[in-house]
C-alpha cells in the first residue's frame, strides 16, 4: 500500500500557512500603497528604470536585481532586441503570405524578457500565444513558434524539452494547467516554480478566477503573470475590470503587484520575488505587468478602428528597449561595438527565420490522422484507411 509521503506535503502546508501570514502582510502593503494615492490616479507601480533610463531606488525590490552584472544587462538588451527583430520578421512574413497570421509582441519585450529571464531551468512556463520573448528565454527555437501561424501544425514543439508548454489560444485555459502542474510540483516536494501568462482580457475568464481559487486553496507554487497591454483586441481594460487587475489577488488571499511592464529590470525583480515566494512554499502571486500592445492584436486586426494614435505615441516614449539602451549608454555598460554587433546579429536572425519559414514544408496529408490518440482508436484507423483508398483511387486513374 502506498500511502504517499505525507511528509513533503505537510511541510509544504505548514510552510504555506506560515507564508500565508507574509502573504497577507504583503497584500496589505501593496494595497496601502495604492490607497495612499489620490482617488482617480493610477495606482503606483514598481519601477526600477524610468522611461528616460534612470535607475530608481526601490527598498523592496532592489535586492532582487542587486547582483545583475553589466553583462547580464547587455544580455537582457540583446534578448529584447532579438525578440523584436524576430517579431518584425514574422509580421513581414505574414504580409508576404508565408504565415496565415501573426500575433505581435511589439512593446511587450520587457515584460516577457524580464519575467522569462527570472525563471529557472526547472521552472515550467504556461504561455498564451504571444509569449515569443518568453519562448526565447526558455531556449525554444523561434522558428518552432511559426509552425502554427503558418498552418503546418498546431504547436508541435515538445513542451518538456524547455519546460515551455504549447501556446494556448483559448484565453485563460492555461492558468488552470499551470495551477495543476504547480500542485504536482508541491506533491513531489520539488522547489520548482510555475509561471502562467495571460492578458488583461483573459482576466475576465472564469478559468482564471478558478485558477486563483485552486492555487490559493492548495498553496500552489505558481506565479500568475498578467501582461496588461491595455487592449483585448478592441476592448480596453476598463471593459474587463473595475479595479486594477493586480488587486484581484487580494480577494483570493495572495499578494498582487503591479510592475512597469516596460521596465525589464523592474519586471525581473518582481518576477524573481514572486518565483522565490513560490519556491519557498509561500504560494501563488499575481504580477500585473503594465505595458502596451504597440501593434495590432494580430495581423488580422485594425486598431485604427478603436484607438487613436496619441495613445500609441505616449507609450512609444516609454519604449522598453530604448530605456535600457539609455541606461546602458549613460552608465557606460555598452559601447558602440556592442550595438553594432547586435544589429548584425539581428539581421542574421531575421534571415534565418525567413529562410526557415520559406523552407517549412506542408505536412503529409496523413498527418490528419496522426496522434489523435496515444493508444489508437478504431474509427481513426478506419477513416485513415478510407482516406488512403480515396487518395489511391486517383493513382489508379493515372493521376498523382
Please identify every residue annotated as catalytic. Answer: 293, 297, 306
- Rounded to the nearest whole angstrom, what is the least distance from the CB of residue 270 to another protein in the complex? 24
Closest by CA to 55, choosing from 330, 354, 396, is 330
* Touching another protein, residues 302-341 (CB under 8 A): none
- What is the distance between the alpha carbons of residues 175 and 199, in angstroms, rounded to a whole number? 11
- Rounded to the nearest whole angstrom, what is the least distance from the CB of residue 182 to another protein in the complex? 7
Residue 225 is a binding residue for another protein (CB under 8 A)? no
User: Which residues does 313 contact at the CB level (< 8 Å), separation at least 6?
Assistant: none
| Number of C-beta neighbours around residue 363 at 10 A | 14
Task: Kindly provide the b/e burial profile for residues 168-189, where b requires at least 16 CB atoms within 10 angstroms of the residue's own CB.
Answer: beebbbbbbbbbbbbbebbeee
* Residues 358-397: x where in contact with another protein by CB under 8 A, - otherwise, as a string: ------------xxxxxx-xxxx-----------------
C-alpha cell at 175: 492558468
Between 181 and 246, name the residue whose CB sits nearer to another protein.
181
From 77, 181, 198, 292, residue interacting with another protein (rule: CB under 8 A): 181
Name 232's bridge partners.
235
Residue 2 is a binding residue for another protein (CB under 8 A)? yes
* Residues 192-221: x where in contact with another protein by CB under 8 A, - otherwise, as a string: --------------xx--xx-xx--x----
Residues making up the chain, counted from first to last: 400
Measured between alpha carbons, how far is residue 137 from residues 134, 150, 264, 297 in Å?
5, 22, 13, 22
Q: What's the 3-state SS for 278-344?
A: HHCCCCCEEEEEECCCCCCCCCCCCHHHCCCHHHHHHHHCCCHHHHHHHHHHHCCCCCHHHHHHHHH
- What is the distance between the alpha carbons of residues 188 and 169, in angstroms, rounded to a whole number? 29
Between 50 and 213, name the residue whose CB sits nearer to another protein.
213
Between 70 and 139, name the residue whose CB sits nearer to another protein.
139
- Rounded to the nearest whole angstrom, what is the least distance from the CB of residue 341 to another protein in the complex? 36
* Residues 95-134: x where in contact with another protein by CB under 8 A, - otherwise, as a string: ----------------------------------------
Residue 348 is a binding residue for another protein (CB under 8 A)? no
* Residues 127-166: x where in contact with another protein by CB under 8 A, - otherwise, as a string: --------------------------xxxxxxxx----xx
| Number of C-beta neighbours around residue 67 at 10 A | 7
Vertex 127: Cα angle to 320 and 177 (nearest 5): 145
Between 175 and 228, name the residue whose CB sits nearer to another protein.
175
- Rounded to the nearest whole angstrom, what is the least distance from the CB of residue 154 to another protein in the complex? 4
Residues that bind another protein (CB under 8 A): 1-4, 6, 9, 153-160, 165-166, 168, 170, 173, 175-185, 187-188, 206-207, 210-211, 213-214, 217, 370-375, 377-380
Amino acid at each position: 500500500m502506498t500511502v504517499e509521503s505525507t511528509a513533503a506535503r505537510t511541510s509544504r502546508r505548514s510552510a504555506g500557512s506560515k507564508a500565508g501570514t507574509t502573504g497577507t502582510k504583503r497584500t496589505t502593503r501593496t494595497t496601502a500603497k495604492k490607497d495612499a494615492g489620490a482617488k482617480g490616479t493610477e495606482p503606483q507601480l514598481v519601477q526600477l528604470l524610468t522611461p528616460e533610463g534612470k535607475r530608481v531606488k526601490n527598498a523592496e525590490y532592489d535586492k532582487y536585481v542587486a547582483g545583475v552584472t553589466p553583462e547580464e544587462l547587455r544580455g537582457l538588451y540583446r534578448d529584447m532586441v532579438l525578440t523584436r527583430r524576430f517579431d518584425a520578421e514574422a509580421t513581414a512574413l505574414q504580409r508576404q503570405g508565408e504565415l496565415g497570421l501573426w500575433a505581435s509582441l511589439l512593446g511587450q519585450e520587457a515584460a516577457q524578457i524580464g519575467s522569462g529571464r527570472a525563471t529557472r531551468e526547472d521552472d515550467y512556463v504556461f504561455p498564451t500565444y504571444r509569449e515569443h520573448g518568453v519562448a526565447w528565454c526558455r531556449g525554444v527555437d523561434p522558428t518552432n513558434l511559426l509552425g502554427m501561424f503558418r498552418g503546418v501544425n498546431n504547436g508541435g514543439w515538445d513542451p518538456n524539452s524547455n519546460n515551455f508548454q504549447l501556446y494556448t489560444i483559448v484565453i485563460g485555459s492555461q492558468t488552470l494547467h499551470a495551477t495543476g502542474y504547480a500542485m504536482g510540483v508541491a506533491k513531489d516536494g520539488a522547489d520548482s516554480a510555475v509561471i502562467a501568462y495571460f492578458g488583461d482580457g483573459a482576466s475576465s475568464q472564469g478559468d482564471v478566477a478558478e485558477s486563483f481559487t485552486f492555487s490559493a486553496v492548495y498553496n500552489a507554487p505558481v506565479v500568475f503573470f498578467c501582461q496588461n497591454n491595455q487592449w483585448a483586441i478592441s476592448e480596453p481594460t476598463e471593459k474587463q475590470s473595475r479595479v486594477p487587475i493586480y488587486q484581484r489577488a487580494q480577494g483570493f488571499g495572495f499578494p498582487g503587484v503591479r510592475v512597469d511592464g516596460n521596465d525589464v529590470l523592474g519586471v525581473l525583480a518582481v518576477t524573481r520575488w514572486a518565483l522565490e515566494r513560490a519556491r519557498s512554499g509561500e504560494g501563488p502571486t499575481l504580477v500585473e505587468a503594465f505595458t502596451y500592445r504597440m501593434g495590432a492584436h494580430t495581423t488580422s486586426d485594425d486598431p485604427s478602428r478603436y484607438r487613436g494614435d496619441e495613445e500609441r505615441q505616449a507609450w512609444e516614449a516609454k519604449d522598453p528597449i530604448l530605456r535600457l539602451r539609455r541606461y546602458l549608454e549613460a552608465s557606460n555598460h555598452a559601447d558602440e561595438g556592442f550595438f553594432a554587433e547586435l544589429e548584425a546579429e539581428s539581421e542574421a536572425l531575421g534571415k534565418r527565420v525567413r529562410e526557415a519559414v520559406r523552407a517549412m514544408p506542408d505536412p503529409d496529408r496523413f498527418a490528419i490522422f496522426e496522434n489523435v490518440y496515444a493508444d489508437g482508436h478504431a474509427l481513426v484507423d478506419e477513416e485513415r484507411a478510407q482516406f488512403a483508398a480515396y487518395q489511391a483511387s486517383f493513382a489508379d486513374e493515372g493521376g498523382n
